Amino acid sequence: MSFVYEATDVHTGKELAIKVLSPKLSRDSNSVQRLRREAGLAMRLKHPYVCRILRLGETEDGLIYLVMPYLRGELLSDREGKVGQMDPDEGLKYLVQCCSGLHFAHKKNIIHRDLKPENIMLVREVDGSDTAVIMDFGLAKQSQADPSMAKLTATGIILGTPEFMSPEQIRGKDIDARSDVYALGIVAFEMFTARLPFEGRSPQEMMIARLRGKPTPLKKFRSGFPPKLESVLMKSMSTDPKDRYPTALDFGEALIKAHGGDNADRLREYLR
């Protein structure tokens, strides 16, 4: 759908990323409208764990582009490929930070709808630590949508990545914050097991499995995993949204409480 370039602001010298809609899609009014909507939503998301869009522009020859901060780091998906099953202490930090960023967006009635490891950047800080930053609100849906956006966010249109979509999203039903909680639960499961909680020979079969069955117990893929933490993750992936945590903040608090330990206060700071 787009190409992303590393750039430098000639006035400030800051590193930036420029996302350019492909020429073919720039001529498609629906795609342009979607990108403009992405910019309008993401410009409102000024938060340390969300990648903010700084500007929307158009070149003289009609190319549409977005300007964003350049995040130096590593995709969560790439980190998972390197380390396999992630240590709970490390993974929990990233999950709580994601809960914080999602909750901030949800309070503005914005739902991500496409949360996955490829959309989470682990940004390297000056002190050498990593911070999880959620990227690409390109499929984001405003829960109180403008009528002019109805065609792009209409119920019944399935948008997202099949392996991480909630059952209600698969069915094309109305979604809310609990759909992002579900997706983050699957992200967490993959972080800690290097496996997905639903099995199938294709993304379509995995979608059907989420509609008909329960996630595979985490302990099947990783013995010795803290039972309380597993219980929290399984609750986040409940088929019925009413059985999940109602907010990303509640999910984050449950993760911290289940993990316990000396890091609880430090982790809770990420939620503020």
| Farthest-apart Cα atoms in the chain, separation | 59
Q: With contact defined as beta carbons under 8 Å apart, do 236 and 245 qualify?
A: yes
Q: Among candidates 90, 11, 25, which has minimal Cα distance to 55?
A: 11
**Which amino acid makes up residue 72?**
R
Q: Which residue has the tokens 């999602």?
A: 102
Question: Following DSSP, what letter does each residue of 143-180 receive, concatenated?
Answer: TT--GGGHHHH-TT---S-GGG--HHHHTT----HHHH
Q: Which residue has the tokens 């966010």?
A: 153
Q: Exactly one of 78, 114, 127, 146 is catalytic; which is it?
A: 114
Structural element, H or E, at residue 221: none
**Which amino acid makes up residue 75?**
L
* Token reading at 171: 């069915």
- 114 among known catalytic residues: yes
Whole-number Å distance between alpha carbons of 99 and 49: 9
Kindly list the catalytic residues: 114
